[in-house]
Amino acid sequence: MSSNIDNTEYDDYIAELSYFSHRISTPEWKIIPAPLAAVDLTYIVCGKAEYHVNGIPYIVKAGDLIYIPKGSMRSATTFEDDLMEAYCLNIQLKNLRGQDVELPFPRISNIGIHQDIISLFNDLNNDYYRREPGYRMKLRGWLQFILHRYIQLIVFKNDSDTLDRRIDNVLRYITRHYSEDLSIRSFSEKYGLSPSYFGKLFIRATGTSFRQYLTKVRMNVAEDMLFSGEYNVSTVAAACGFNDVYYFSKVFKAYKGVSPSSIIPSVPHISRHIPGCYPDELEISASGPVSPVNDMNSNSSLS
């Protein structure tokens, strides 16, 4: 399995909704031939239809996503004996510089039926038709979630919707307890599995080993703390679970390509903290890092 979306150009994609429809076709339904003024992303959840894109016919069925770029000539009809139901998006897709961008999708992708995507469409549908003050902001949010899922499934072949609940709980636990001495053995014992089998489950779900994943989280947190300019290297090392500052520096450079001291600015960047990282709440005691958000007294997150 490929890794999750991270540090790619897709993070700069911004989608603006031009048109939305939860389409439940009638036998008479059709789209007359016309050029598209927006990107068409139609997710078929039932039945089938025949689309023509720039003169080429395509049969789409339940579980398919059809991607039609802006400017394409498009037409479509359904089948009377198998009427199509679909969630249809027409969007303007740009990068942060305001330039039109294209998705690296094939014309047809069979992504299957995903209840989480359908749920996102239901949320979008509710806000689209209620149109309460600020609804366009919410629509952009739902749209970005949907687009993210499509990219996960098509580009990165990563189906997080099927993530093992046990692994999901462990990932959430790591995010809050990264500074602690965590091991695959402790988690495998909790779920009554052997460390080797649980390790295989972890790799299958994340594409990386438990130790590599934990280290990646720690290095990302460390990078943000260092860049804030509020902490020295020793403090950051301890806060991220390292007793040896020299070993921390070696690992950090291996992951980030630079030494930790090199990214500490001369003027603190007060506001740059990644979600889930609250270095201003950390206290370093003689026994190691203590954080209110990393309290170990509760194991409810692993239930």
The structure's pTM equals: 0.65
pLDDT digits (tens, 9 = 90+) for 2-28: 344 444 578 889 999 999 999 999 999
Q: Report helix, strand or coil for 46.
A: strand
Q: What pLDDT is stored for residue 72 in this prediction?
A: 97
% of the chain beyond a pLDDT of 70: 83
Residue intervals of the chain classified under CATH 2.60.120.280 are 9-154
| Residue where the block lists tokens 């001495």 | 181
108 Cβ partners below 8 Å, 6+ apart?
A: 58, 60, 64, 65, 66, 67
Residue intervals of the chain classified under CATH 1.10.10.60 are 165-302
Distance between CA atoms of residues 136 and 239, nearest Å? 40
Distance between CA atoms of residues 160 and 216, nearest Å? 19
The yes or no reply on domain 9-154 and CATH 2.60.120.280 is: yes
Q: What pLDDT is stored for residue 207 in this prediction?
A: 82
pLDDT digits (tens, 9 = 90+) for 262-281: 988 876 655 444 433 433 33
Mean pLDDT is lowest, of 7-21, 31-45, 215-229, 285-299, for 285-299
Q: What pLDDT is stored for residue 19 in this prediction?
A: 92
Mean pLDDT of the chain: 84
Edge-to-edge strand ranges of the sheet holding 39-46 = 14-24, 85-94, 39-46, 64-68, 108-110
129 band by pLDDT with thresholds 50, 70 and 90: confident
Between the alpha carbon of residue 62 and those of residues 83, 125, 155, the distances in Å are 11, 20, 20
The yes or no reply on domain 165-302 and CATH 1.10.10.60 is: yes
